[in-house]
Amino acid sequence: MKPLVAPSERTREGADSRTAARILDSALELFAARGFDAVSVRDIAEHAGANPAAISYYFGAKEQLIQQAIRSVIAPLNALRLAALGEVVARNPDGRIAIDDVVRAMIEPTVRACFTGTGPERHYARIWMLSLSLRQPYIDEVMTEQTDELLQRFVAAMSKALPGRSLASVYWAYDFMIGAMLHILLDPSRNHRLKRVSSGLCDTSNPDDVISELVNFVVRGLHLARPVP
């Protein structure tokens, strides 16, 4: 691959070299800890053992590096989620799917990725919440591009599993589910605050516990949702 001349087109679409991979991984590590703006390209380059100019060479401007970082976190996770959902649907060819299974198809891959993931998706919780809390067009662009379809697919499945409930309830519940999941997933990197204040009653370092508590809570909230008017 050759570096393009015009600055705006200088991004390497592949970014497949070893150096580029190290840069992206270092960027994620530092972004997840301190946020996008508090991390300089020099910090990233140093952490990756590379030259600052290598970042523009492979990714272009910093904004594009951030976009790529967000994408690299969310894309593989969405693939896992959709695969899990597809499996649930395939398992019940008659169309009668259980709401528990649908909810779990969203929650289990996500929680496991954050706890035991080895790729970029292990930074999902922090990177995503960070992106959520900034209101910048170039970030919104990536977020919308990566989640709108996923949302529709899951809402459709949830609604199918709960034919008596209003579609609006399902949309609301989907949003609540994502919010609750994100929030609890941040607990480990906040020194297990919930575990501490609950005197150890809530083991937020055990992915199985987190998954089962989340699924139970969401399914209950959904199952008794207001029926169609």
**Footprint on this chain of its own copies (rule: CB under 8 A):** 33-38, 126, 129-130, 132-136, 140, 144, 148, 151-152, 155, 167-169, 171-173, 175-184, 186-187, 189-191, 193-194, 197-198, 201-202, 213-214, 216-218, 220-221, 223-226
**Binding pattern for the stretch 25-44 against DNA, x by CB under 7 A and - elsewhere:** --------------xxxxx-
Number of residues near DNA (by CB under 7 A): 27
Are the C-beta atoms of residues 70 and 127 closer than 8 Å to each other? yes
Residue 99 CB, nearest distance to its own copies (Å)?
13
3-state SS, residue 165 = strand
Binding partner of 54, given its own copies, DNA, none, CB within 5-8 angstroms per partner class: DNA
Query: CB-wise, 20 or 103, nearer to its own copies?
Result: 103
Per-position b or e across 206-216, b if 16+ CB within 10 A of its CB: ebeebbebbbe
The C-alpha torsion from 148 through 154 and 156 to 157, rounded to 10°, is 170
> Backbone phi, then psi, for 212, in 5-degree steps?
-70, -40
| 63 scored as a contact of DNA (CB under 7 A) | yes
Binding partner of 69, given its own copies, DNA, none, CB within 5-8 angstroms per partner class: none
CA atoms of 31 and 35, how far apart (whole Å) = 5
The C-alpha torsion from 43 through 115 and 151 to 220, rounded to 10°, is -140
CA atoms of 51 and 221, how far apart (whole Å) = 51
| 61 scored as a contact of DNA (CB under 7 A) | yes
Among 4, 7, 134, 138, binds DNA (CB under 7 A): 7
Can you give the binding site for DNA, defined by CB under 7 A? 1-3, 7, 10, 12, 17-20, 39-43, 50-58, 61-63
